[in-house]
Structure 1
């Protein structure tokens, strides 16, 4: 297969993923914006308001492994489509649970809903399967930034979706989950119909079909032993993403509760969460270009610094300042974005035979860490304050600095994984 043809496949893959991510971004934003508020209303206590974040993050953990395994065996298309279908089902059941005021059903539905979150993140790996090694960061960032449109618009639809919910005798806070069910379902349909050929399966085929002449054009240096380099790369990339997830989820989960307790309505909360999600995804093109140019270590260091700044800003902002909180949450999102792009760029260089499965396992660790942060955040705020939680998150983020400083060879090891797969050299866009 010619390089031009491979490049065409990569462009088609990115266009399809972008469309799916725009849709799924709206579904992703629903739980972030009103999940904690809905739980507080139905459970009757602030200390348990972190349960939605914890539950749909636990659900996303299980889904990450499942999506990764399906993708590893059958390709990205079935793995991602199944994940979005399950997420849409969970969102629909949340609406039913709210309508009949069933807290047990709500808790179960939140677990299922988490599959959409996991799938949204897993899609970033699909964007890099056919990309040139030197352009993987930009391929990943293209998929991530596509989430921005839906994710920023979603929180600002809280009020009209609440009105729609009331019109059909459903609690107002369940309205955004109606949007989530439709959005996740549509994203899955786009992938089923358009993600052909499957990028991961095509990448494997290209690697298998590599000719001796093509092999001769590759860097002749030997690749590290399989028993040595994957673990080191996975630990380096995974640790950065785990810490950024802990800090981001903990602060983000309790921000709507913090605002409600100081007299802000859901409209103001939607503005702050929209700024946060914009910070999470909108800088992705810049992050992708930077990781391709400067490497994952530099971006990981920047992530730690941004998260520390976000924690400080959130802790000291006047409680009445919606703009101030929006700035703090946008910086929080930026710190998360830098860490995610840095870690993903390392894991995107894993061997094709284990790539999707390993990526799913790492995302499991990220989700479990996030679930603990979401659950614990409510207890920290109840026992201390939101300001204390934010400052604590900033301090925890500093752990990223020694991790990236000590991961001396992680980036080189990730790059070296491309050497046995020279047929992919023409698969990215130039």
Structure 2
């Protein structure tokens, strides 16, 4: 189409249809999508980033001693994995209710509510640990899953006021801030235990005192500073809704494909990662190697997320998700070919592949439907993601027992294939005349 004299220059579409993927997914032409940053977006990103770092710190402390606390109160080592499982299930179970709350009342109230639930979970864990009561400790981890739900939904909150060309960047910045908490949190386990003992609390319980304090500060930050509410602000100027919109995924095949892509990437990561420490222990590796391997994995998950956000904006979500799939395949190849002493290489690649696919896939989810339906889709995506991760983690143990670590890695190949197919389906450009 020709451009009239004096008309402001139109923005050129990004390579590989990066702008098309988001604009067309909601029925807009790329030129019709505003490309000027919202005045409140910078403040929103700062507040969400601070909250994400504090939340990650709380999770790092709490989960770092979770398995030990479960073993301590139950007296059964085989139940230690319930801490991570219940935390994951709690995050998945709370995803949809918090998304519905965001839909009705905005992000500030939803994220603050999830954080207060996590605070209650930390308090329940501290009390349960003090009373040596598994009946309190195990539900406490489920309630603490509110922190995981907030962690996931914060990345979508970062995109509420984003321009189409910077959606991946903004989302990945909030994801990256998790790195601070994940790195610092485990290092506070020792000081937390010393604090707890000084307060007269039993061994391991002090960590949940620190977790509760971090959650309280996070809730205050979100409640006081997340103004204007990014989701409510994004609706300014839109016609008022006469009825609550309902999401039917069957009517949005590209949105469904985006949800599947994120879930497949997450399941691949969790399925391999969950049993790698057990594999290394059986292979005779000492705790130093196991710890370094998991640190390399965590670094891969978060440290380069801004790079993958930038790639999503520059070359498109499809190309970035497919890059993640290739890196996941390289991780499986490394796990198959390298000795156990070099496991950090494979696990770092596993984290990198997850980061690329999840950042780009979440960017697709963030804009896969019309604005009124986005919180509902985002909540369902987090629910599916969490349930698939829990299933992958639960299945990894029996698979490892039957076919070994090599078989466990090979079992992830169909999941990666599903990731590739879903990414292609989620980014098909619809007919502009439709």
The TM-score, its normalising length taken from structure 1, stands at: 0.81
Q: 1:339 to 1:180 in 2, by over 3 A?
A: farther
Q: Name the CA distance, whole Å, in 2 between partners of 1:164 and 1:316.
A: 45
Q: Does 1:178 pair with 2:209?
A: yes
Where in structure 2 are the equivalents of 1:22-421 lying within 5 Å? 22-43=53-74, 47-168=78-199, 170=201, 172-208=203-239, 231-258=252-279, 262=284, 264-265=286-287, 271-314=292-335, 318-319=339-340, 321=341, 324-349=342-367, 350-383=369-402, 385-393=404-412, 396-409=415-428, 412=429
Mark the runs of 5 or more structure 1 residues left unpaired by the alignment: 210-225, 417-430
Residue correspondences, number: 391
Q: Name the CA distance, whole Å, in 2 between partners of 1:326 and 1:182.
A: 33
| Cα distance per residue 1:240-281 (max 9 Å; x no partner) | 11111212223333344555665644x765544333222222
Aligned-pair distance for 1:332?
A: 1.9
> Which structure's CA Rg is the greater one?
2
Q: Name the CA distance, whole Å, in 2 between partners of 1:23 and 1:318.
A: 37
Q: Which moved more, 1:73-82 or 1:160-169?
A: 160-169
Q: Which moved more, 1:47-56 or 1:341-350?
A: 47-56
| Cα distance per residue 1:20-79 (max 9 Å; x no partner) | 111111123235534334434544556544322221111111211111011111000000
Q: Name the CA distance, whole Å, in 1 between partners of 2:414 and 2:133.
A: 38
| Cα distance per residue 1:187-242 (max 9 Å; x no partner) | 12111010000011011014459xxxxxxxxxxxxxxxx98996122212111111
8 Å Cα contact 2:271/2:396 also seen in 1:
yes
The TM-score, its normalising length taken from structure 2, stands at: 0.80
Q: 1:297 to 1:16 in 2, by over 3 A?
A: same
Aligned-pair distance for 1:5?
A: 9.9
Mark the runs of 5 or more structure 2 residues left unpaired by the alignment: 1-33, 241-246
Q: 1:24 to 1:120 in 2, by over 3 A?
A: same
8 Å Cα contact 1:99/1:169 also seen in 2:
no
